Copies of this chain bind each other. A is one copy, B any other.
Amino acid sequence: MSTGSTSTARRGPGAKSAERRRSIIDAAHAVFAERGYNAGSFQAVADRVGMSQTGLLHYFPAKSDLLLAVLQRRDEVSTAAVDPTAGFAESVLLKARANERIPGVIQLYAVLSGESTTEGHPARAYFTTRFDRLRTGTAAELRALQADGLLGGSVDVAIAAASLAALWDGLQLQWLLAPGEVDVVACLRDYLDGLFARP
The chain A residues found within 8 Å of chain B, CB to CB, are 36-39, 107, 110-120, 124, 127-128, 131-132, 135, 156, 159-160, 162-163, 165-171, 173-174, 176-178, 181-183, 186-187, 190-191, 194-195, 197-198
- How far does the alpha carbon of A171 sit from the alpha carbon of B113 in the complex, in Å? 12
The interface residues of chain B lying within 8 Å CB-to-CB of A112 are: 114
The interface residues of chain B lying within 8 Å CB-to-CB of A132 are: 178, 181
- How far does the alpha carbon of A178 sit from the alpha carbon of B165 in the complex, in Å? 14
Chain A contact residues: helix, strand, loop or mixed: helix
The interface residues of chain B lying within 8 Å CB-to-CB of A194 are: 194-195, 198
Measured between C-beta atoms, what is the minimum distance from A101 to chain B in Å?
17
The interface residues of chain B lying within 8 Å CB-to-CB of A167 are: 163, 166-167, 170
Q: Using known A-B contacts A111-B115, A132-B181, determine if residue A120 contacts B156 with beta carbons closer than 8 Å.
A: no
Contact of A169 among B127, B170, B190, B198 (CB under 8 A): B170
Query: Is A113's CB under 8 angstroms from B181's CB?
Result: no
Query: Is B163's CB under 8 angstroms from A173's CB?
Result: no
